Chains A and B, each alone.
Chain A
């Protein structure tokens, strides 16, 4: 059974720092991995989707990597800003539209 873990559960860093969020999964047989952002009281916003054949995806200051063999993905945020404060969730897909979700990392960027 696929399990997705995100560590740490919470992270607080000063503005301007580069940071890395981690996501690990137990079954390497995935079709893709997605990173989402959730703001308080709001829904989730898809940030990046990495297909199983890809190693990384980039969007602006965000870069997500995928290492299937080790069951790991990282979300790199460059030059963090207070507006980046949110909960970040990763989710893996086994190809049947069933996403297995991590519990999320709550990120606080201090001005």
Chain B
């Protein structure tokens, strides 16, 4: 079945530094990947949609210069949180959309717990 690997699962960084989160579709090609943010005891909020080879589409209120998204291949999308601050601490989850056969549908990564100190 469709598997999405997200790395790292947990990261702690100092305020002002940048953090990169990777999302890989392991056994299918994902033309579209989504990045979500989840605050404690809240639902998932879509941050941006990325299509392979093109610029990401950001949701209203999400700073594109702060949350850099790259989708350079059909199996990899990255989210870089630049100049992280404590308020960026959250759980970030990616999902990838497969379009053929058994991989048809949306598969979520296991999430990344970011803590900025």
Say if A and B assemble together. Answer: no
